[in-house]
């Protein structure tokens, strides 16, 4: 598995555009195979998303690395993740940032991600079960927000949850999605940039 993981870093990440050495090191270390169903463990380091049950998927390794890199990793940052899913992206974030709050809407995925991440020894993650756009999570403002399911339209409520200088990475769209990077330049200036086309599961809403 360790060899397959290093090949993944070489062939899928470095050959594309992932450059941050800390991100590459962590991607070469976090055991992705422990986050996928047993029958897919042999495919865990392939260049593809995989099913994790409940109609959801674990993101392709490149997407996990690329989204993480766009948040500019630093141990003094506190990150909000919406869409815990398997917990793999959460593990990568927890290695590179100081603290993570992660929200998952499907109760079974919330439970399984929390248990694997605790088993692996992570102590800087707070887990929440609910709709990430709606449930109150402290602090009110984060240094970075990552959304791993796609809303049809950009959620205008999210930039308010970013600290000044904070970055938000989110897939947006329905039949055609783009990965969008949002930077909160100042209290009243936000810039948005489309990065590249992606294919994510749909962000669900709950009242």
Q: Which residues bind ligand SAH (CB under 6 A)?
A: 52, 56-59, 82-83, 85-86, 88-89, 103-106, 109, 131-133, 148-149, 201, 203-205
Distances (CA, A) of 32 to 36, 91, 132, 165, 195: 7, 9, 24, 31, 25
For 6, the enclosing helix (H) or strand (E) is helix 2-8
- Shortest Cβ 84–ligand SAH spacing (Å): 6
- Shortest Cβ 188–ligand SAH spacing (Å): 27
Active-site residues: which are they? 59
Q: Which is nearer to ligand SAH, 73 or 83 (CB)?
A: 83
- Shortest Cβ 119–ligand SAH spacing (Å): 16
Tokens of 24: 């590459």
Q: Which is nearer to ligand SAH, 20 or 56 (CB)?
A: 56
Q: Going edge to edge, which strands form the sheet with 162-173? A: 125-129, 99-104, 78-82, 142-147, 162-173, 177-186, 189-198
Q: Is 155 left (phi over 0), alpha (psi -120 to 50) or beta?
A: beta
Q: Which is nearer to ligand SAH, 44 or 162 (CB)?
A: 44
Residue whose CB is nearest to ligand SAH in the complex, by number? 85
């Amino acid at each position: 598995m360790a060899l397959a993981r290093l090949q993944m870093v070489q062939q899928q990440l470095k050959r594309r555009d992932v450059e941050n050495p800390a991100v590459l090191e962590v991607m070469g270390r976090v055991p992705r195979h422990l986050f996928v169903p047993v029958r897919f463990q042999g495919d865990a380091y392939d260049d593809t998303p995989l099913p994790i049950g409940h109609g959801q998927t674990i993101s392709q390794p490149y997407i996990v690395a690329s989204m993480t890199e766009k948040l500019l990793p630093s141990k003094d940052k506190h990150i909000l993740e919406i869409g815990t899913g398997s917990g793999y992206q959460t593990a990568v974030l927890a290695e590179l940032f100081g603290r993570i709050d992660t929200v998952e809407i499907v109760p079974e995925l919330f439970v399984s991600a929390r248990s694997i991440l605790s088993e692996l020894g992570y102590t800087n993650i707070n887990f929440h079960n609910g709709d990430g756009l709606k449930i109150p999570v402290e602090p009110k403002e984060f240094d970075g927000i990552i959304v791993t399911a796609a809303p049809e339209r950009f959620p205008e409520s999210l930039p308010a949850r970013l600290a000044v200088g904070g970055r938000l990475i989110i897939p947006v769209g329905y039949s055609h999605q783009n990965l969008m990077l949002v930077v909160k330049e100042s209290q009243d200036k936000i810039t948005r940039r489309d990065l590249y086309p992606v294919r994510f599961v749909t962000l669900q809403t709950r009242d």
